[in-house]
Structure 1
Amino acid sequence: MTHAGGHINPAVTFGLFVGRKVSLIRALMYMVAQCLGAICGCGLVKAFQKTYYNNYGGGANELQPGFNKGTGLGAEIIGTFVLVYTVFAATDPKRNARDSHVPVLAPLPIGFAVFMVHLATIPVTGTGINPARSFGAAVIYNKEKAWDDQWIFWVGPFIGAAAAAFYHQYILRAAAIKALGSFRSNA
């Protein structure tokens, strides 16, 4: 996301903004581009795979039967927290110096986090965690059900992303700096 330079998720971009890794203007421009890209991508799927597209409701996210809005919102918050925290941990520039004996490519843990979040949240919301993807599918599918709970797929990921950025940057990082400081003064 940051090292490769590819921003494909407004929630991750928002988390990076909260963590002061991306400027406000850049974050907003990325989010506009992400949403336009998602609309174009969904349009292509509809154009080239119409039968599958219609069979699967255009891929539009919606709250699954038996779950209330609070549960859906909670699933999106927690799922996006896991994703954005993993992005911060995997792309942390200080991590390379600390864990140089553990050669890990950032996409591997990020991809695994996305996979695990999908396993947990598909039964609840169909897995949003990416507002652009949810928005693009809703715009192209454009049926009432696709828009009913669209707010969940923006509010949840943005809250989860902000919480993950805050936790990583201001709690974990601050605790690590404080611990290092007391370790040095005792040494």
Structure 2
Amino acid sequence: MTTPLPGSPPSLEGLIEENRLAIAQLRGLLDKLTPVIYRQPFGAGGRHSLGKHVRHIIDHYSALFGGLEGGGESIDYEHRRRDETLEAWPHRAAERLVSIETSLLALADQPPTRLTLDYPLDEERLLLGSSIERELAFLTSHTIHHMAILGLLAEQIGVPLPESFGVHPSTLRHWRREAMLSPVTEEEA
């Protein structure tokens, strides 16, 4: 992975790698879950489950790749396929995540493409210009946001996760910078 100069936009390869790392962490969580735990309801009215958040993440990647397969004419995150088997069976979700990782890698060979984000607003439909880099940056943040929720839910039922699970790459970079700048005290040495 190339390291961009300070202040320069992240490279496509860097954005692909951020997404792949998040997906790999998510697969690591799925490896620890039984279908019963994966489907366990949380929250008022039982509207949340680990599976629903994982399915939601997968739906967004599927919307991006579906739009790219259609020539990039329209990416639509609102009218996405909601495959309920992915929120019921962790092994099916893990298989789909492997497929997403493969699709992410293939993006590195794709020529720069102008994308259109289809964004409905009640009675109005906005068609917003975008790029694969912008959509990958969005997907990183969206995925990490839901992984943070997954981390909280998993913690409630005693599923151990690494400290970096559900932490945005920018925060991880900040932690590394802070660790390099903080002086070591005599007690720590």
TM-score, with length taken from structure 2 = 0.29
More helix by share: 1
Query: Bigger relative contact order, structure 1 or 2, given CA contacts below 8 A and separation 6+?
Result: 1
**TM-score normalised per structure 1:** 0.29
